[in-house]
Structure 1
Amino acid sequence: MINKNIDEYLDIFVAYKDFQGVNKKTVNSLGAAIRNAVRLSKKNFFLWNSNDCREVYYAIYSLPKNLTKNKMFYGLNGKELLEKADLLGVDRISESTAERYVRSIRNFSGWLHSQGLIKHDYFKELKPKKNGVKDNAQRIPFSEKQIKEVLRSDIFEDNHNYLKWIVLIAIEMGMRQNEISQLYRSNIVRNDGVWCIDVSCDRSDQRLKNKNAPRTIPIPKTLIKLGFIEYVESCNERLFPELKYYELDGYSRNVSKWFSG
């Protein structure tokens, strides 16, 4: 097993996840996380023992941000990588990112073990550490000041501005950016006299986060009073045809850029 190439098996694992229907952005992120984690040891991955796995597990929480983009880290692995990060004083990845890395390498290790490619799944018991912060507290992307700035935007002055409706749907209905951006006129339905949004992925250019994501959500009266149904009826097919489709991001890329701009 000494000569086994980690990239070869990682490619097989990523292809397997892709075949399972995991969206490409998640699959690419998974592969990148595992590759970065593997760099934390100079030892051949297939020779890692329980101690090696623990050391990598702890080191993941000290990984520098933008590891693959920073030329200063090219060719560095193991302790040399972390020592260079200390020397440069660069920012480290967030705890939520570190948790994703841990979950990714645990997933990979478990798959390798199930395929008989490693004898022991040492990562099985190495779970992401608890930071005491509730998930919903970690996911607040904007401060109150930033939210007020968004709501003062001139996009709300025009009923035909697609961003106006995307923002209002996100605020009023709690839908994800890509769920909103990929909506078609046929996703706006009337159930027992109540206007609703049918969140689904019936079309080839629609995707959802997971199998539990499909749902039907009543449209709040506030949106109806503001003219949302009239906007829908003015559309031909897609609600927001201004948005371009990207293989990795679906239709939400430019929406994300607007929010972060």
Structure 2
Amino acid sequence: MRLPNYLVLSPTGVYHFRWKVPKRFQGPLGLKVVKRSLGTRDARVAHLQALVLASRYAVALQGGDMAKSVDELLRSAQKGQVDFEVVAGPHGYTVKTDGSAQDNAAALETVRLLNAQGVASVGGAPLSASTRIALEMAVEKWSKTLTSGARKTPGQKLEAVKAFVAWKNSTRKRSPARVAMGDLSKTDCAEWVISLKQTPAARTGKPLTDSYIETKTRWLSLFFDWAMAAGYYPKGDNIARGHIKVSKKAKRLQSKKTGWQPFEVAQLKMIFAFPALKAMRRQSSRWVAMIALYTGARSNEIAQLELADFKIVDGVKCIHITTEGADKSLKTEASERTIPIHPDLLALGLWKLVERLQDDGESKLFPNLTFDAKNGPANGPQKAFSHLLSDTLKIAARGDGRIGLHSFRKTVIQRMQDGLVGKEFRVAYVGHEGGRDLDDDHSAVYGKKVSPTVLAAQCFPALDWANLGVVKVAALTPLFAPA
């Protein structure tokens, strides 16, 4: 936030009052500039003290009365010895006074300056000592509360807030003093958003999208919600909210432009050709890709599967996608589901793999994966698959879109849409919440859980990849056989 000309921030973080004496008074006073420490690192307190001093000097000069020395006026302002009260309201500042004519004039001048400067309202109450906590320290405390939610979400929240801290520090002059929570204002958040709009994305080099920036500000607003509840920031409006808003329509259009793209059948034939699959050396990477092709499940939903998640329901062999077990998380509550296993996956040996691992005393379907990886256990398979696409097969996304393991999810949804599979069945099969990514409308889908038998009958015909020449089961089986 840009400081007014009468307020100076020293290298130690302490604010000083600076007043340039008008030329006609420089001789009588023997001073050209008055500069005194306000003895505070609190921007709001310093601002008000400086305005009191500035207004009193202005009134004193107008009346020709400079009886009080600079130091006397300073002590008066710092001790709060003023005969008027400034009240912050939603539409600016007002004044209550019972003082002398001179103090009345000074009070009115203070309010005029406050409203002209647009000083942030803080509710009239002085900031508590807890608001002097350093921003970095508050972030560190907040980070210890981020223990719930999906695997990546806590890290994404912390990354966004740390980005704000780094930006704020970069805008300050060199100073050993750290930014205090109480010094932050809505203007800081607004300027951070402006800087994000001018920052190129690492992947494309193009400006960051509004949807991305909105997500960052949402994480920052959660931090300030916590800070206000914890007493580290004055309660009131969240200063991180309201700076950017993206409509649902704009989000959908942006998602279509820069989001995950489905694979074409010709591309799928290249991916699931024997030489291409063999190029992914680990069976776990091959299995994750193959299961994704038939289920549309997210890569981490597949990679975190436990042997206990494979069940027989009403005579149908199924996969139960759930948070039950160790090292698991799901994107939403609607992600939990039980789906039938496609006959092609059984023919490739998926159920036999489960039985073999059970005999070996394992609990995970892919025990060789790293379950504490930042991007989840699918991190390894994701990298292997991306390497296959870019380096081996030279398959690239169109325009600004993306392709990878998540493209199988889009592919499965599109195939079922083209196959006229009902929305209720699609939602039950892929685990979307409210059909959000399935159709253009955002109407919720409610009803009883669909049985595996019904799901198989409704969804499998649209996912007959063998009949389309994508998966040649007999030829690929050796790639999934025990080593």
Deviations 1:64-107 (Å, cap 9, x if unpaired)?
456xxxxxxxxxxxxxxxxxxxxxxx654455532331221122
- Structure 1 match to 2:119: none
Task: Tell me by how many angstroms 1:142 deviates.
Answer: 6.5
Task: Tell me by how many angstroms 1:8 deviates.
Answer: 1.0
Report whether the alignment pairs 1:33 with 2:165: no
- Structure 2 match to 1:121: 238
Report whether the alignment pairs 1:235 with 2:357: yes
Report whether the alignment pairs 1:49 with 2:182: no
Report whether the alignment pairs 1:98 with 2:222: no
- Structure 2 match to 1:163: 285
Q: Give the aligned residue type for 1:102.
A: T
Q: Give the aligned residue type for 1:31.
A: L
Structure 1 CA distance for aligned equivalents of residues 261 and 134 of structure 2: 39
Deviations 1:143-175 (Å, cap 9, x if unpaired)?
6476554333536579x9333321122122121
CA RMSD of aligned residues (A): 3.2
Question: Does structure 2 retain, via aligned residues, the 8 Å contact 1:196–1:216?
Answer: yes
Question: Does structure 1 retain, via aligned residues, the 8 Å contact 2:311–2:318?
Answer: yes
- Structure 1 match to 2:273: 152
Larger Rg computed on CA atoms: 2
Report the CA distance shift for 1:213/1:143 in structure 2 as closer, same or farther (over 3 A).
closer
Question: Does structure 1 retain, via aligned residues, the 8 Å contact 2:185–2:239?
Answer: yes
- Structure 2 match to 1:80: none
Structure 2 CA distance for aligned equivalents of residues 215 and 28 of structure 1: 26
From 347, 359, 371, give the equivalent of 1:245.
371
Partner SS state of residue 251, structure 1: coil
- Structure 1 match to 2:250: 132
Structure 1 CA distance for aligned equivalents of residues 183 and 274 of structure 2: 56
TM-score w.r.t. structure 1 length?
Answer: 0.74
Range with greater deviation from structure 2 (211-220 or 176-185): 211-220
Equivalent residues in 2 for 1:173-252, closer than 5 Å = 173-236=295-358, 237=362, 238-252=364-378
Structure 1 CA distance for aligned equivalents of residues 269 and 137 of structure 2: 49
Report the CA distance shift for 1:124/1:95 in structure 2 as closer, same or farther (over 3 A).
closer
Task: Tell me by how many angstroms 1:208 deviates.
Answer: 2.7
Structure 1 CA distance for aligned equivalents of residues 267 and 251 of structure 2: 22
- Structure 1 match to 2:38: none
Q: Give the aligned residue type for 1:53.
A: C
Task: Tell me by how many angstroms 1:6 deviates.
Answer: 0.8
Question: Does structure 1 retain, via aligned residues, the 8 Å contact 2:193–2:213?
Answer: no
Partner SS state of residue 241, structure 2: helix
Partner SS state of residue 60, structure 1: helix
Structure 1 CA distance for aligned equivalents of residues 344 and 210 of structure 2: 38
Structure 2 CA distance for aligned equivalents of residues 176 and 112 of structure 1: 34
Report the CA distance shift for 1:15/1:146 in structure 2 as closer, same or farther (over 3 A).
farther
Partner SS state of residue 217, structure 2: helix
Between the aligned residues of both structures, percent identity stands at 23
Report the CA distance shift for 1:24/1:231 in structure 2 as closer, same or farther (over 3 A).
closer
Question: Does structure 1 retain, via aligned residues, the 8 Å contact 2:210–2:244?
Answer: no
Question: Does structure 1 retain, via aligned residues, the 8 Å contact 2:190–2:243?
Answer: yes
Report the CA distance shift for 1:153/1:36 in structure 2 as closer, same or farther (over 3 A).
farther
Question: Does structure 2 retain, via aligned residues, the 8 Å contact 1:196–1:217?
Answer: yes
Structure 2 CA distance for aligned equivalents of residues 101 and 143 of structure 1: 30
Partner SS state of residue 240, structure 2: helix
Structure 2 CA distance for aligned equivalents of residues 153 and 108 of structure 1: 50
Q: Give the aligned residue type for 2:238.
A: D
Structure 2 CA distance for aligned equivalents of residues 104 and 60 of structure 1: 14
- Structure 2 match to 1:85: none
Q: Give the aligned residue type for 1:140.
A: W
TM-score w.r.t. structure 2 length?
Answer: 0.43
Structure 2 CA distance for aligned equivalents of residues 202 and 8 of structure 1: 35
Structure 1 CA distance for aligned equivalents of residues 350 and 227 of structure 2: 50
Task: Tell me by how many angstroms 1:185 deviates.
Answer: 1.9
Question: Does structure 1 retain, via aligned residues, the 8 Å contact 2:300–2:377?
Answer: yes
Task: Tell me by how many angstroms 1:200 deviates.
Answer: 1.9
